[in-house]
Amino acid sequence: MDQRPNHIGVIGGGAWGTALACLAGRAGAEVTLWAREPEVVESINRDRENVLFLPGIALEQAIEATGDIAEAMRADILLLVSPAQALREVCRSMASHLRPRTPIVICAKGLERGTNKLMTDVLVEVLPEAEPMVLSGPSFAADVARGLPTAVTLAARTHDDALAVARTLAGPTFRPYVAADLVGAQIGGAVKNVLAIACGIAEGRGLGESARASLMTRAFAELVRFGKTFGARAETLSGLSGLGDLMLTCSSQQSRNMSLGFALGRGQSVDDVLGSRRSVSEGVYTAGVVVALAAERDIDMPISRAVHDIVEGRITIDQAIEDLFNRPLKAETET
């Protein structure tokens, strides 16, 4: 990767995949975007807009959409933007078309249900010849698509590999900071989705700004405890892909996870909220994995556990709040 690659493939035609395609086009690359939905392919190629997932935003002329994944796989770099729970299936469909050592940048945030694995572990298991990377950080699709200032973490096995891809995506309003901590970059993005549901519930319940600030602080303590146990670096967890992403996702209803929590706080059911959306709220699916891994490793994760219990219908919101405030008193830094 000594030269700047001029062809980027985007695997996934949702809001985030479309936004990243815009980003790559603005950076001067030829972009092929694969979408599962024929109406997305048609909308992008005919109208230069993803009406289904990112309406109202004009797309770069450099983007060509396709329903044939093999066409996108001819690219120099692949941005893998399928939902976390669909990532294994999508990787299988990519297998026969992948060139060895092609950088695959995972842009989904979650942990796989059933296996409890990180997205990079799933990728390497299905596509062992791929070069795994992770793009994560505080970034709403609409902001990136519109060219608003955004900074993220781009993690790879080595600094040089991360830097090569970062140079390809960087632009006047998009700044990727490189890292060699694949574990930390993934855990920050996955766990914050669960914790954002909790902040949304507090907002929807009208618990006040003080409660939300306290909840975000304690949520970050959970994220750090969890991440360090699995080998994440402290500086990664306190950086863009950890603290930065948590702050954004817990502060705005543009976040699918916070808005879901908000709806729960207002009395809606999980099924009703999910049934009314085409987009995925990854925190719902990741919560059970986080709680299971925390139990295996004896990690104290009371907020994540409360979210999981609420989502599964095992406990009411009022009971969860009462339980959290009746936990034994201890020092703030005590684990």
Are the CB atoms for 114 and 203 separated by under 8 Å?
no
Residue 296: C-alpha distances to residues 118, 229, 290, 300 (Å) = 16, 11, 10, 11
Which helix (H) or strand (E) segment holds residue 60: the answer is none
C-alpha 56: how far from chain center: 23
- Catalytic position from the list 109, 117, 192, 228: 192
Residue 238 falls in which region: left (phi positive, over 0), alpha (psi -120 to 50) or beta:
alpha
Are the CB atoms for 229 and 222 separated by under 8 Å?
no
If one counts every other C-beta atom within 10 angstroms of the C-beta of residue 167, the result is: 15
Facing residues of 179 across strands?
A: 155
* Coil, helix or strand at residue 244: helix
* Token pair in block for residue 313: 């219908």
CA–CA separation, 307 and 309 (whole Å)? 5
First to last CA, the chain: 44
- Indicate if 192 belongs to the active site: yes
Are the CB atoms for 118 and 183 separated by under 8 Å?
yes
Q: What are the catalytic residues?
A: 192
